[in-house]
Amino acid sequence: MVALPVAAQDNAGDPSLSYGQRPAYLIEKLPDGELKDQLMSCEGQTPERTAFSIGHRGAPLMFPEHTVESNRAAASQGAGVLECDVAFTEDLELVCRHAQNDLHTTTNILLTDLASECTQGFTPAEGDSDASAECRTSDITLEEFRTLEPKMDSFDAAATTAEEYQGGVAPWRTTLYADGTHLMTHAESIELFDSYGAQFTPELKTPVVDMPFEGFSQGDYAQKLIDEYKAAEIDPSRVWPQSFLLDDVLYWIENEPEFGEQAVFLVEWTDGFDEQDPSTWQEDFAQLSEQGVTYLAPSINMMLTVENGEMAPSDYAIAAKEAGLELIAWTLERSGPLAEGGGWYFESVNDVIDSDADYYEALHVLAQDVGVVGVFSDWPATVTYYANCYGL
């Protein structure tokens, strides 16, 4: 096994579980009715870990994503599945990053000597042009990656200096827990998540460089992800590899069937999509099923629609289920306060989103009417509480 970062060694072992204050805060905002009554009846229940609750990059509502500390927070909130989005370094080592090209917004790289290695260095805002930069994991080696300090994912588009560019954190997030956090390699995430007794859902991130890169093909990339679970002797039944590229999913199904059996095909709302109009859908559900795909993970907006002024399952979700596909939803609590609508994640139901309580309204429809088998969340306690209360 790999050697964990010092913080990971200190935090290894299943943390004690706690819902914290947020579930009660959201439940109190619900209108009187059956859902509120049921959730309030579970007040005081003992939290239990559940695979229905999936930590999206850990718990990034308050912690820097893909850090040891973010995932410990998710595990302590009962997330039974934890995520490492997998990118690769210049020397082809796998690390946990949401994108291959996000180091300029998720780490302090622009304030270090490694800024000179970035694909695009910092360019200050001027006139109508926003400040910009692009720093990729493939710009630096693993050794160099380890020297970086994580930060909340953000940037200040009006910045005129690299220091100012570090800002821009959404007002409903916080930097309170960003100090002294630790980055992880993919292999380190496996050891850490295993110490929590959690399951794994690594996402093979779509490269922003041309493949093959330094002789590293897309197939090599997909295989290396699986090989790190084999090296750690993780049972394939605990691993849910994901990708937005169908070819990656099919690669696992064909070449690593024990892992491919639980491979997840990620899809998202795109321009022109209508959750009630099959002519706008890109996915052929029957064909996916024939190809051996079992799990489909659409963005939340694809699975919800409005009927009689309330949220309801979309025709898209119903058709996917009828084709035998298991559905996983992403991502709850990524939209911030919902008083003025839910933004992109609630694109299809924004007209009926007007309170933070709608997180639970949406979750209830996804769980009971759509029938999803898991929900990604930026604050897993919300989903864990619901799942425990409803026996999921």
DSSP bridge pairs for 342: none
Q: What is the DSSP letter of 102?
A: -
Kindly report, residue by residue over 19-36, the tens digit of the pLDDT. 999 999 999 999 999 999
Residue 58 is which amino acid? G
List of residues 6+ apart from 306 with CB closer than 8 A? 312, 348, 349, 351, 352
156 and 24 in one domain? no
Distance, CA of 374 to CA of 28 (rounded, Å):
24
Residue 9 binned pLDDT confidence (cut-offs 50, 70, 90): very low
340 and 226 in one domain? yes
**Residue 179 confidence (pLDDT) above 50:** yes
CA-to-CA dists, residue 193 to 136, 199, 300, 333, angstroms: 25, 7, 26, 22
- pLDDT at site 281: 98
Using CA atoms of 134, 136, 141, 146 in order, give the dihedral in degrees to the nearest 10: 90
Radius of gyration of the chain (CA): 21
Residue 29 is which amino acid? K
Model confidence pTM above 0.85: yes
List of residues 6+ apart from 218 with CB closer than 8 A? 207, 211, 212, 245, 247, 248, 251
- Does 246 fall in a domain? yes
190 and 170 in one domain? no
340 and 219 in one domain? yes
Q: What is the mean pLDDT of residues 314-336?
A: 97
190 and 62 in one domain? yes
329 and 243 in one domain? yes
Q: Count of domains in the chain?
A: 2
- Cβ 317 vs Cβ 298: under 8 Å: yes
- Does 380 fall in a domain? yes
Q: Counting runs of H as helices and runs of E as strands, what totals does the chain give?
A: 16, 15
343 and 225 in one domain? yes
Nearest to 287 by CA among 320, 239, 259: 320
- The helix-helix angle for 22-29 and 381-390 (nearest 10°) equals 70
**Residue 355 confidence (pLDDT) above 90:** yes
Question: Would you report the helix, strand and coil content of the chain in percent, each value rounded to 5?
Answer: 35, 20, 45
Distance, CA of 62 to CA of 172 (rounded, Å):
9
Of the residues 175, 207, 233, which one is the last residue of a structural domain?
175
Of the residues 149, 175, 201, which one is the last residue of a structural domain?
175
**Residue 3 confidence (pLDDT) above 60:** no
- Does 155 fall in a domain? yes
Distance, CA of 75 to CA of 81 (rounded, Å):
8
CATH number of the domain residue 221 falls in: 3.20.20.190
- Does 203 fall in a domain? yes
Phi, psi of 97 (to 5 degrees): -145, 145
241 and 137 in one domain? no
Nearest to 15 by CA among 199, 235, 198, 234: 198
List of residues 6+ apart from 56 with CB closer than 8 A? 83, 330, 331, 334, 376, 377, 378
Q: Which residue is it, tokens 């509502």?
A: 61
Neighbours of 268 (CB within 10 A): 14
Kindly give the pairing relationship between strand 85-88 and strand 94-96: antiparallel
Q: Which residue is it, tokens 């939209």?
A: 335
Q: What is the DSSP letter of 386?
A: H
Average pLDDT, the chain: 96
Kindly report, residue by residue over 188-214, the tens digit of the pLDDT. 999 999 999 999 999 999 999 999 999
**Residue 10 confidence (pLDDT) above 50:** no
- pLDDT at site 15: 76
- Does 90 fall in a domain? no
190 and 56 in one domain? yes
31 and 69 in one domain? yes
List of residues 6+ apart from 102 with CB closer than 8 A? 135, 153
Residue 272 has which token pair? 């022109």
- pLDDT at site 13: 55
- Does 371 fall in a domain? yes
List of residues 6+ apart from 251 with CB closer than 8 A? 218, 219, 222, 223, 260
Of the residues 155, 175, 195, which one is the last residue of a structural domain?
175
- Cβ 65 vs Cβ 103: under 8 Å: no
106 and 30 in one domain? no
Phi, psi of 339 (to 5 degrees): -60, -25
- pLDDT at site 5: 46
- Does 355 fall in a domain? yes
**Residue 221 confidence (pLDDT) above 50:** yes
- Does 346 fall in a domain? yes
Domain assignment of residue 189, given as a range? 6-84+184-390
302 and 199 in one domain? yes
Kindly report, residue by residue over 123-168, the tens digit of the pLDDT. 999 999 999 999 999 999 999 999 999 999 999 999 999 999 999 9
Residue 222 binned pLDDT confidence (cut-offs 50, 70, 90): very high
The DSSP string of 5-26 is PHHHHHH-SPPPP---SHHHHH
Kindly report, residue by residue over 227-272, the tens digit of the pLDDT. 999 999 999 999 999 999 999 999 999 999 999 999 999 999 999 9
